[in-house]
């Protein structure tokens, strides 16, 4: 292979990389947002399971825009675990969902996770205690 052919191959590969890079970065950002949202949903489901197994009320409470805590009442609210979101992500809630010993929740709530590009995903908790990602 001559030098000219090698340069053409490098130019073609660089061109493909130039056009593919933005979609790869966007896919990575979407994947990270989905991952963080599913971690929040998993922790919410785990809090529900704690309420059922311990026969006491437990809740998820948003402490700040970047942290939330899982608490159980024994007889006062005590934090089991506080979780900080990865850098660039924020969380907000329209209510503080509380799980009861039978697994139901009140009030129904939506936890919204957003990334640095203002893309959002939601963790929805309904009154039956079902946790789902939207």
**Predicted local distance difference test score (pLDDT) of residue 5:** 87
Which residues of the chain register pLDDT less than 70? 20
Tell which residue, 85, 44, 42, 38, has the closest CA to residue 61.
44
Distance CA 113, CA 92 (A): 7
Total tally of structural domains belonging to the chain: 1
**Predicted local distance difference test score (pLDDT) of residue 7:** 87
The token pair that represents 56 in the structure block? 């006491």
Residue 6's CB is within 10 A of a number of other CB atoms, namely 10
**Predicted local distance difference test score (pLDDT) of residue 13:** 86
Distances (CA, A) of 82 to 4, 5, 35, 119: 59, 58, 18, 24
Spatial neighbors of 80 by CB under 8 A, at least 6 apart, are: 47, 50, 58, 69, 70, 71, 72
Q: Which domain holds residue 123?
A: 3-133
**Predicted local distance difference test score (pLDDT) of residue 23:** 79
Q: Beginning with the edge strand found earlier in the chain, give each strand of the sheet holding 58-62 in spatial order.
A: 77-84, 67-73, 58-62, 98-99, 105-106
Task: State pTM to two decimals.
Answer: 0.85
Q: Which phi and psi (to 5°) does residue 66 adopt? A: -120, 0
Q: What is the CATH number of the domain that holds 90?
A: 3.55.40.10
């Amino acid at each position: 292979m001559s030098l000219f052919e090698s340069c053409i191959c490098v130019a073609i590969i660089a061109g493909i990389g130039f056009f593919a890079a933005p979609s790869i970065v966007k896919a990575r950002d979407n994947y990270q947002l989905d991952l963080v949202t599913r971690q929040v949903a998993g922790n919410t489901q785990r809090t529900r399971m704690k309420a059922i197994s311990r026969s006491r009320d437990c809740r998820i409470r948003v402490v700040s825009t970047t942290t939330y805590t899982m608490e159980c009442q024994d007889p006062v609210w005590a934090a089991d675990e506080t979780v900080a979101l990865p850098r660039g992500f924020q969380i907000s809630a329209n209510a503080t969902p509380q799980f009861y010993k039978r697994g139901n929740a009140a009030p129904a709530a939506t936890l919204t996770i957003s990334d640095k590009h203002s893309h959002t995903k939601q963790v929805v908790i309904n009154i039956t205690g079902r946790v789902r990602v939207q």
